[in-house]
Structure formats: structure tokens, C-alpha cells
Amino acid sequence: MIKTRTEALSILGLGPDAGEQKIKSVYKELVKKCHPDVTGVEDASLYNRITEAYQFLMTESKGKAMTHSRVMGKTSSRKPASSADYEAFQKRAARQKERRKQEFEQKQKDYSAMYEKQEADYRRAMDAINAIRVARAIESMVRANGLGKDSNDNISE
């Protein structure tokens, strides 16, 4: 944990009189050189140390700018997010993800129920069509064998 400006500046290789622009340019160069993806080293401690030093210096400089802007009557800039803010964001994101998952699962259930109902309706319709076809086939066989005339004759007599 970096505690002083001098410590942070020494990590970046700068003197005590370095300005914000110089800090930013040196930080960008160091990040490009020391990033784990560039170096191929899995240990990111140097990169993390450089980033921590830069963040310390920027937070410190923004603290001074905020104090100055209050004196000038301007509104202060946004403060950096705290770990509590980040945790709250993570919780909201997790709740949102869970809600979307539940909505998706409900839609799947609704779709499955609708599909099963359509399948059942289709099967009933096909059973009815097949029953009509069988009835017509039986009727045509009865007529072809002349069985229908005898039964009609017996009824009318």
C-alpha cells in the first residue's frame, strides 16, 4: 500500500517536482512495457504496483483540485468509487442477472406448455380425421357389398 507521494513517484521513476502531465505520460509508457500480456509473465505485481502508484497520485491531485474548486465556487468533480460502491454494483448486477434468468426460464416453461397444448390439439384433430376416414371406408364397404339395402328394407317393412 502506497502511503506517500514520494513513494508513488519513485515507483514511476519520477522526481518530486513531476507534474500531472508528466505522471500521465510516464504511466502510459510503463503500462505498455510492463503489462502481463506484453511481457508474457504471469506475475502482474510490477504492473499492479505501477497502477497503484498512478491511482494514488491521481487521487491525490484530484483531492487538491477539488479543494481549489470549492474555493473558486465551482462544483467538485466526482469522487472515485469505493469498494462499497463496487460491492453494491456487483449485488445489483447479480440480482439483475438472476431476474433475467428467472424470466428466461419462465418463458421457456410457457413456450413448452404452449407447444404441448398445440401437440395435444393436433393429435386430437388427427384422431378425429382418422375416425372420419374409417367411418367413410366402412360406409363405402357396406354399400359395395349391398349390406346397406337389406338393413334399410327391413326397417321400412
pLDDT digits (tens, 9 = 90+) for 42-59: 778 888 888 898 998 888
Q: Report pTM.
A: 0.41
Burial (0-12, 13-18, 19+ Cβ within 10 Å), 9: buried
The CATH superfamily assigned to 5-72 is: DnaJ domain (1.10.287.110)
Tens of pLDDT, residues 57-86: 888 877 664 443 343 444 445 667 778 888
Cβ-contact 8, 2 below 8 angstroms: yes
Q: Where are the alpha helices (DSSP H) in the chain?
A: 5-12, 20-34, 36-39, 45-72, 83-144, 147-156
Residue 21 pLDDT exceeds 70: yes
